């Protein structure tokens, strides 16, 4: 009987986690843009926008990992919560440009969002790529 309760408890936990993960999917998206800086570097902006009825949760442990540089040279490939910019709800990264004027950046961004009434909050993992020009 004790084993049945334990198994039931585990199944409920897995179901709740799976449901929250499914609900979180598509709750935010990332817009990536690039521009040349006065010192001829490239500034990439990873701006997170929430879906309708959802708001950004600035309290979560946000994280950005650059998976493929698209020909740009970054000093660092991972950005954590201290580098998160609340004004853009995202991250800014500076890179040294390649000879080409375009590239495809692959990234993974971990965002945190809540319903407007904050009764449900979600961890949103966004893995994507963006073609950028500078």
For residue 95, what are the CA distances in angstroms to 7, 30, 71, 88?
50, 19, 10, 19
- Which residue in 90, 86, 89 sits closest to 66, CA to CA? 90
Structure confidence at residue 13 (pLDDT):
38
* pLDDT for the residue numbered 45: 98
CATH of the domain at 123: 2.60.40
Closest CA to 28 of 134, 116, 106, 125: 125
Question: Cβ(48)–Cβ(87) under 8 Å?
Answer: no
Q: What are phi and psi of 76, to 5 degrees?
A: -140, 150
Q: What is the mean pLDDT of the chain?
A: 86
Question: Which whole number is the average pLDDT over 50-56?
Answer: 95
**pLDDT tier for residue 5 given thresholds of 50, 70 and 90:** low
Q: How many domains does the chain have?
A: 1
Give the pTM: 0.79
pLDDT score at 99: 84
Range of the domain at 90: 2-133
Chain segment 7-29, per-residue pLDDT in tens: 444 434 343 333 343 444 689 99
pLDDT band, residue 109 (cuts 50/70/90):
very high
Q: Which pLDDT belongs to residue 25? A: 62
Residue 18: left (phi > 0), alpha (psi -120 to 50), or beta?
Answer: alpha
Query: Is 37 a residue whose pLDDT tops 50?
Result: yes
pLDDT classification of 4: cutoffs 50, 70, 90: low
Q: 18 pairs with which residues across the strands?
A: none
């Amino acid at each position: 009987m004790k084993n049945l309760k334990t198994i039931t408890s585990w199944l409920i936990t897995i179901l709740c986690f799976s449901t929250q993960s499914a609900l979180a999917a598509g709750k935010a998206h990332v817009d990536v843009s690039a521009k040349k800086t006065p010192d001829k570097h490239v500034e990439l902006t990873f701006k997170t926008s929430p879906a309708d009825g959802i708001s950004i949760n600035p309290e979560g442990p946000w994280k950005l990992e650059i998976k493929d540089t698209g020909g740009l040279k970054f000093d660092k490939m991972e950005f954590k919560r201290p580098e998160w910019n609340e004004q853009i709800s995202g991250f800014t990264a500076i890179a040294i440009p390649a000879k080409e004027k375009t590239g495809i950046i692959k990234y993974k961004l971990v965002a945190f969002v809540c319903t407007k009434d904050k009764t449900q909050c979600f961890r949103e993992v966004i893995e994507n790529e963006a073609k950028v020009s500078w």
